[in-house]
A and B are shown apart, each in its own frame.
Chain A
Amino acid sequence: MSLQVDNLTVYYQTLRGDVQALEGATFSIADGEIMGLAGESGCGKSTLANSLIRLVPPMRLVRGQVRLDGEVLPIDDARRMSDYRFSRVSVIPQYAMNALNPTRKVGKMMAELLGSKGVDFAATIPELKRRLDLVELSHDVLKMYPIELSGGMKQRVVMVLSTLLNPSLLIADEITSALDVSTQKAVAEMLVGFRDRGFVKSLIVITHDISILYQIADTILIMYAGQLAEKAPTDVIIRAPRHPYTKLLIASLPEVGVRYAERRLSGIPGRPPLLLDPPAGCRFRERCSVAFEKCLEAPPFVELEPGHFVACWKELGEDVDG
């Protein structure tokens, strides 16, 4: 297991109270696994991803633990966590287009960043150049300012930089949403290539585009209103989902490839609960057609079949015997 997340609960502190954006997340990612993370806008995908690398105020760790390669990550201790960032956990941010300091040449910025982390930049250059070749970037980008690069080029620079130290876990948060379709595919394939070459051990890919996940993800984790709903191999999620929310989500896609966020799940009445004061129990309850009394308690995330986790009392067979 490369990543193990246990009962991770993270709130946003606001003046009006806590926004309970991530509640009791428990899951793991195997070595070499590419896990897709999907769910409606605002369901807590970025919160989960950020918790693993940059948990800063107003985010607050309420409880839970994260282990990477067996080692506990000090996710709520910014100082200690910075030793793990980049080298062990890394990220390709959503805003990759603006992620580079505008007043430094790309190469110089990399040198200063690596230098500050005690890595010998000069020794890294040959590998860096190999990777630039891999993403089809000229070595000249190192001598350029970000403003001289196109959006796609900046994104590839960020991809190369983020993975330069071969992290165990790489998080890619909506890195394709701003790109056109053909570039999306290329970027997605690069991510797979990075995994295959061992630049990164495992990956969390967040996207609004299930077709991308279908193309590259080994498993998919579905979230709803801050809670995990279901995790299973990609094929299973698409063809045989078991959680009522996943079923509706997949059914609402006329074909794989529709961006679900842009269509407010028309078939499902109601909208997700506000996370400032969410209902107890299963948060999908109010929109779930098969809900029953038991659903007033939060369902556990249980492995029903090997590799297939579901958080739903119905699927646990509770309605029959309880």
Chain B
Amino acid sequence: MSKRKVRSETLYFALRNNKLRVGLSVILFFLVLTFVGPLLTHYAPYDYVNPLGAQPPSAKYWFGTTMFGQDVFTQFVHGLKATFLVGVVGGGLGTLIGILIGFTAGYRGGVVDEVLNMITNIVLVIPTLAILLIIAAYLKVRGILTESIFIGCTAWPWAARAIRAQTFSLRSREFVDLARLSGMSPWRIIFTEIAPNMMSYLLLVFILQFGGAILNAATLDFIGLGPTNAVSLGLMMNNAVLWGALLLGIWWWFVPPGLAIMAIVGALYVTNVGLDEVFNPKLREM
């Protein structure tokens, strides 16, 4: 089958896969909200806009107000931006490092592989959060970008493992042998011969890293080690719990941020499985 035909076939199944449709719609919805949301509100996230303090959702304050009279909707849409940023940067960085290490280990094999694999396994065993906690605790001022970078730097091991295994299985294929015989440099072979054949797989890895980064950030933010100069969904939950929203029944403060994280990450996972079915004909449901 020609490459062209394969591509159109993939697209054909992609458009008809329900998991993919649902997943992408949800992500798209939140993405649009991220960009449009700030235009719909004329407050800043930490402005004290409601002198009456905490009030349930109303026509004026769509998601209600916090105990200090801050607009929850405003915080929410700005928090979404932080969430997507962490996902893209943290997830992207994690995938990138995973790709570099996975490709090198899988393609070179031998001692290089042994060493990289050992390092990967060691980093894999050390609980990421413990490291992140310590790093975060030392930094007095933290931005979302810094947070994303730290998250990406600690999230790569399983991506590296997965990519290494895939590279191993591709390495012995004929087209790679041919390229090697023709004297191509290893990195050119990796990027011209191996990577294109793993594109779909790398995409799946990125999606999972994306979701993982979002959850990691929420954890950090929730225990107060998130950004010190911005608003995020995890931080909203942190504040809600810190100021007794639970006992006071201010549910509109802590429900939206968690719900959004759950929906976005869940949609990412569903998209992942949907894509897997599209790329892998055996899994398609007839």
Chains A and B share a contact (CB less than 8 Å): yes
User: Residues on A close to B: CB < 8 A?
Assistant: 13-16, 57-58
B32 CB to closest chain A CB (Å) equals: 30
> Which residues of B are in contact with A by a Cβ distance under 8 Å?
12-13, 16, 286
Contacts of B16 in A (CB 8 A): 15
Determine the chain A residues whose CB is within 8 A of the CB of B13 once the complex forms. 15
| Overall SS of chain B's interface | helix
In order of increasing CB-CB distance, the 8 nearest A-B pairs are A58-B286, A57-B286, A13-B286, A15-B16, A15-B12, A15-B13, A16-B12, A14-B286
Bound: A57/B286 CA distance, A = 8
Return the chain A residue nearest B285 by Cβ.
A57
Inter-chain CA distance A15–B286, complex, in Å, is 8
Say how far A74's CB is from chain B's closest CB, in angstroms: 21
In the complex, residue of chain B having the shortest beta-carbon distance to the beta carbon of A15: B16
> Which residues of the other chain, B, contact A15 by a CB distance below 8 angstroms?
12-13, 16
Chain B residues near A13 (CB-CB < 8 A): 286
Tell me the bound Cα distance from A57 to B12 in angstroms: 20
B12, B16, B286, most chain A CB atoms within 10 A: B286
Q: How far is the CA of A33 from the CA of B4 in the complex (A)?
A: 44
CA distance A227 to B16 in the complex (A): 32
Chain B minimum-CB-distance residue to A58: B286
Expressed in whole angstroms, the minimum distance between the Cβ of B4 and any Cβ of chain A is 15
Instruction: Report the minimum CB–CB distance from A117 to chain B (whole Å).
Output: 27
> Considering the chains assembled together, what is the distance between the CA atoms of A58 and B286 in angstroms?
7
Q: Which residues of A contact B12 (CB under 8 A)?
A: 15-16
A14: chain B residues at CB < 8 Å are 286
A18 to chain B, nearest CB (A): 12
Q: A144 vs B13: C-alpha distance in the bound complex, in angstroms?
A: 42
Tell me the minimal C-beta distance from B21 to chain A in angstroms. 15
Give Cα distance in the complex from A57 to B282, angstroms: 12
Contacts of A16 in B (CB 8 A): 12
* A-B contacts besides A14-B286, A16-B12, 6 pairs, CB < 8 Å: A13-B286, A15-B12, A15-B13, A15-B16, A57-B286, A58-B286
Min Cβ gap B101→A in Å is: 28
